[in-house]
Structure 1
Amino acid sequence: MRWDTAGERLRRLDEVLESVQRTAEEKPAPVLVEGKNDERGLERLGIEAEILRVSGNGRSLVETAERVSRRYDVAVILTDWDAEGEALKSKLKTLLESYGVAPRTSHRKRLRDLTSKEIHDVESLPQQRTRMRSDI
């Protein structure tokens, strides 16, 4: 994917982050991330949503999906865009659907498309955003 300018890429990144926030507020929907550093990264970016870690939380993916289904009809999946994150996204998507939760993965795809040449994880988004701002 080719971007016209650094400013355009930054604008698109901000649009995706705003869309994550809107989706979390409007549905409501939790944002599912891999670990604590990803959670902190989203918080640094100003995401004010319920952020749930799917790794290192003492629960299996099945337990996490079941827990989400008790409170939500929709969930935003923001796993990393490396091979492990891709596999985790697929498992989560299948599990959430089996519990009647609509998984939203488009935000993850858009973030991957915007940043995959520079970063491969959610926790690096704040630093990437800072770099993009300095390139303008």
Structure 2
Amino acid sequence: MLQRTVCAMMNTGDRCVIYVGLSQSGRIHGVKLDRKERDHLCADIDRMMKDGFNPCIQHNQYKILFVPVVPGSHLVLPETYVVQLELEAKVSRKTVYTIDKEVEEEKKQQYYRRCGKTNVEVSNKMNYSHHSDLTSS
């Protein structure tokens, strides 16, 4: 699902953020990840960005952040994070990203996001926001 969502976001040509650990209503649940699991997730995302898209998504086009979950008591929940994946196409709007390799299906596909009158397929299991005010570092 993440691969399809990333592809859809990259095809907007804009800066976007995908959040993992939020409900559809926006409630923060977080994802429990220890250090090893966070490192493994980063490596998997790096591999997906490099090998899973045509054209491949370069390191300067995305950033992975692990934001600690702080409940109302202002205490950080141990090893519980919202995973924030910031994306920026940084290429011509004419560039169309396609899925090059996908575990679930073997054929090449491309996914779009609703933009004006264009229909899109975006995962309903991932929450995302479209931001034009992200800063790159």
TM over 0.5: no
Q: Which has the higher contact order (CA 8 A, sep 6+)?
A: 2
Which is helix-richer, 1 or 2?
A: 1
Q: Which structure has the larger Rg?
A: 2
TM-score class normalised by the smaller sequence:
under 0.3
Higher strand share: 2
